Amino acid sequence: MNKKLEGKVAIVSGSGRGIGREIALKLAADGAALVINDLDEKMAAGVVQEIVDAGGRATACCGDVTAPEFATRFIDTALDSFGRLDIIVNNAGYTWDNVIQKMTDEQWDAIMAVHVTAPFRILRAASEYFRRAAKEETAQGVEVFRKVVNISSVSGVMGNAGQANYSAAKSAINGLTKALAKEWGRYKVNVNSVAFGLIKTRLTEATAGDDATINISGNEIKVGVNQQLMQNLETLIPMGRAGTPAEAAGAVYLFCIPESNYISGQIVICGGGRP
């Protein structure tokens, strides 16, 4: 059976672990070559090796997606390594929560940078290649669809207490999605968002204590959800449980395959039935 993404090249930010890793592995399993990104070079290298060991093609582009020079390097890695670019998944991100009266400018700016500015820069850096490739393909009478999947959240659709920064950022990425769907339709680029609900990752996994953190740019940021709170949240989900990273990746995959070639500018919630 032919693989649906055979010959395609995808870049996935934040793909060294968690949902991003699952997205990368799923796209690779269906034939795409991958550019893996993570802050941790070891984690990125591990995913690259997984893909290569399974018979696929992959390389790494490590670094902070919020760095001003990163976007161009990310795009160039795909073009230099594989000669083309077909799929962009803007996945990298984290949360840094607080109620608004206690939220600092640093918290606000950091979350906006990773969830809005970084995807914007990556897509801007890809725009010239998309425009040029579309023009060449039209001249040749060839129709090629390319895909952008921006990762959003139900917090960006419905809002969430304690997440003014994250909710605003994820709402903004939905706006960017809709704008680019209109700008890039002429280039046959489908631009969509997947808004995740409660997905079990290292950022949401229930913890017994309050000391679990991740280090982002020198800041120790608390992660994890209290066990009782996690159980309470799951009772609100019609399917009765949180989603898995593999299930989250499946929602992204739907927007990467040819069956979605006439779908653009949409926001799909992957939340087990919870709006």
Q: How far is Cα 269 from Cα 275, in angstroms, rounded to an integer?
A: 7
Q: If DSSP codes are grouped into helix, strand and coil, which group holds residue 47?
A: helix
Candidate list 166, 187, 253, 262, residue with the active-site label: 166
At 197, give phi and psi (nearest 5°): -90, -140
- Look up 94 and say whether it is catalytic: no
Closest CA to 195 of 264, 118, 271, 117: 271
The owner of tokens 């939220």 is 103
CA distances (Å), origin 260, targets 4, 10, 73, 226, 267: 12, 16, 28, 38, 13
The answer to whether 93 and 14 are in contact (CB under 8 A) is yes
**What token pair was written down for 88?**
């962009």
CA angle 235, 205, 47 (to 5 degrees): 130
The terminus-to-terminus CA distance of the chain in angstroms comes to 36
What is the β-pairing status of strands 87-90 and 58-60?
unpaired
3-state helix, strand, coil in the chain (%, to 5): 45, 20, 35
Q: How far is Cα 210 from Cα 217, in angstroms, rounded to an integer?
A: 21
Catalytic positions, please?
166
